[in-house]
Structure 1
Amino acid sequence: MEFFTSYDGTELAFRTLGSGPALLCLPGGPGRAGEYLGDLGGLSADHTLIIPDTRGTGASALPADLTSCRVDRLVPDVEALREHLGLDRIDLLGHSAGGSLAMLYAAAHPDRLTSLTLITPSFAGVGLPSDLGAREVIAARATEPWYAEAVAAYEGMQSATSFAEAARYRFAFEPLMYGRWDDTARAHAAADPAQRSLPVSEHYYAGYRPDTEALRRQLGALPCPVLLLAGRLDLWPTAASATAAAALFPDVILTVQPGAGHYPWLDDPAALSGMVAGFLASTTTTTTTPPARRTP
């Protein structure tokens, strides 16, 4: 574990895995320490993964001002880490709520990105829905032995008014977030409470109101390629939500991983790491003129 001091004096932690070109990976949760990302299905074989613990999570200090844990106010932490690493430009990856943060960083610092990879991202940061058609996705899994209990837990989470209140439903709900509810998925889900900082979870979107028009303009002029990857079985975001959100970007590859939930590197590690590594290998230094839009 390594440490750096962010813009306001808060000491933040990050770990590095693997070798090769640097890839900065922002975890989600929100409020979950970066450990849960593992090495993203073997992606560390091709890249040096730089995985920070968001302020207040894992080994990073909890700031006195918890409002600094709000998603838009985390953008300066990402910029401070880039500067600490001495990188002029970065390949940036965001997962889940970390995808919202990655998009906000891209909007604020487009000239600092070589590429943007969004793995099952939340679109809350840019004011778009993440759950289009979620109940249809749930219904398609009705033959699973855990289905009735998981659906009841899903309804409980939907009615919860805080992350703390939702926590009692989380493990029963978790089978809906994985493509396979096997021993690996159960262990990954069981680790969540110890890795999650509820104060950060509660403040991550609290009071945040995205300027959707400005964000659409900024992301619509993004001068780097984007990989947007969704899981066919994911609820947040659904494949339908990811497909709609792809229109935000001028140069985007949208892919939907079959049989995958919210953590596609667990459901099919080779598919996830191969897709991301192939995308990164294809990217080059961008110019100030956005390239032509690509489609899958």
Structure 2
Amino acid sequence: MTVTQNESPTVVADDGVRLWAARSGIGDPLVLCHGGPGLWDYFEDLAELLADLTPVVRWDQRGCGRSEREVAGPWTLDRFVADLDAVRRHFGLERIRLLGHSWGAQLALSYALAHPERVSALVYVAGTGIGPDCDWHPAFLANLLARLGEQPERLARWRELDDRPVRSDDEDRESAVLQWSAEFQDQERAPARAERMADPWLGINHECGRALNQERRRSWGTPELYDACRALDLPVLILDGARDIRPRCAVDSLESALPRVRRVILPDAGHMVWTDDPKGFREAVGPATA
């Protein structure tokens, strides 16, 4: 994958914080928003999968991955929306096509709601809808334990690490890889695929993750959010894996609110949709990259 050489890999946000970003290919890119919160861009394989369809812009969110790590926030959705707008400006894009995955789907949707005139299309992948956490989080935890429990020693080790108030960096990585292994439908290949996500290991920003998850619990599921989605006049693709351990019914709230929406559910995919079903993912996303 070739990064355009005449553009700096450093985006400077409006408050001076430096964000890592990279653009591949030539032409109108698809801007990718990774999940977390508190993680880093893990879209190298996705960018390669779509390389003949569209160039992409990848970036690490504030305080995460290769972006400036010496920052202490603010860890708010509004701040992350502003950072995404800085990425747009940096690459000279008047309007952007957005793809967000997991927490990144929430970020991409929030950007589109804040700046609809700056978005031409939105691909919402494996998100959790616009309802409150009670719509999906209890079922997610139950499904996570069940998936990990298919190998009892894996579940026991994950519980042991999760119960520790303080973990070393190596233990943090091990815990993440164990949990990420539950996100793939193909459980035989899941450990290797989870290891790939952790290589290189750039360290989870837990403070960032806690703050943004708390904000979502306070503010998501409001009548104002539903009304804003009903007024969003741009094409949206909702793309799900039916075997995601987050219940897909939670996303019905978003689908029913949007006026211009297409939804594709891939029956043999989990949370990492493009890894579990690359062919189905390409076929679904292709029209949104045209």
* TM, length-normalised to structure 2: 0.80
Deviation of 1:64 (Å): 3.6
2:211 counterpart residue number: 203
Deviation of 1:229 (Å): 0.9
Find the aligned partners of 2:35 and 2:166 in 1 and give their Cα distance.
17
Q: Which residue of 2, 17, 24 corresponds with 2:24?
A: 17
* TM, length-normalised to structure 1: 0.79
Change (3 A) 1:5 1:169: closer
2:233 counterpart residue number: 223
| Structure 1: gaps spanning 5 or more residues | 282-296
**SS of residue matched to 1:242:** helix
Q: Which residue of 177, 181, 202 corresponds with 1:194?
A: 202
2:269 counterpart residue number: 260
More displaced 10-residue stretch of structure 1: 243-252 or 253-262: 243-252
Deviations 1:241-287 (A, max 9, x none): 22343113111111111221111111122221221112333xxxxxx
More displaced 10-residue stretch of structure 1: 210-219 or 7-16: 210-219
Deviation of 1:70 (Å): 2.4
Find the aligned partners of 1:60 and 1:174 in 2 and give their Cα distance.
22
Deviation of 1:160 (Å): 8.8
1:2 counterpart residue number: 9
More displaced 10-residue stretch of structure 1: 177-186 or 150-159: 150-159
Report whether the alignment pairs 1:117 with 2:123: yes
2:223 counterpart residue number: 213
Find the aligned partners of 1:105 and 1:163 in 2 and give their Cα distance.
34
Map 1:212-251 → 2, pairs under 5 A: 212-236=222-246, 238-251=247-260
Deviations 1:212-265 (A, max 9, x none): 2222111111111111111111123x2222234311311111111122111111
Work out whether residues 240 and 265 of structure 2, in 8 Å CA contact, stay in contact via their aligned partners in 1: yes
**SS of residue matched to 1:274:** helix
State the one-letter code of the partner of 2:234.
C
Q: CA RMSD in A?
A: 3.3
Find the aligned partners of 1:157 and 1:246 in 2 and give their Cα distance.
37
Deviation of 1:24 (Å): 0.7
Deviation of 1:137 (Å): 5.5
Change (3 A) 1:133 1:158: farther
Work out whether residues 22 and 47 of structure 1, in 8 Å CA contact, stay in contact via their aligned partners in 2: yes
Map 1:117-156 → 2, pairs under 5 A: 117-123=123-129, 127=132, 129-131=135-137, 133-134=139-140, 146=151, 148-149=152-153
1:69 counterpart residue number: 75
Map 1:35-54 → 2, pairs under 5 A: 36-40=42-46, 42-54=49-61
Report whether the alignment pairs 1:27 with 2:37: no
2:85 counterpart residue number: 79
More displaced 10-residue stretch of structure 1: 222-231 or 57-66: 57-66
Change (3 A) 1:199 1:137: closer
Work out whether residues 100 and 124 of structure 2, in 8 Å CA contact, stay in contact via their aligned partners in 1: yes
Deviation of 1:33 (Å): 1.2
More displaced 10-residue stretch of structure 1: 91-100 or 181-190: 181-190
**SS of residue matched to 2:202:** helix
Find the aligned partners of 1:216 and 1:278 in 2 and give their Cα distance.
26
Find the aligned partners of 1:220 and 1:156 in 2 and give their Cα distance.
44
Deviations 1:150-183 (A, max 9, x none): 555777799899999x946443333321011316
Find the aligned partners of 1:50 and 1:170 in 2 and give their Cα distance.
25
Identical pairs, percent: 27
1:180 counterpart residue number: 186
Deviation of 1:200 (Å): 2.5
State the one-letter code of the partner of 2:82.
P
State the one-letter code of the partner of 1:6.
A
Aligned residues: 275
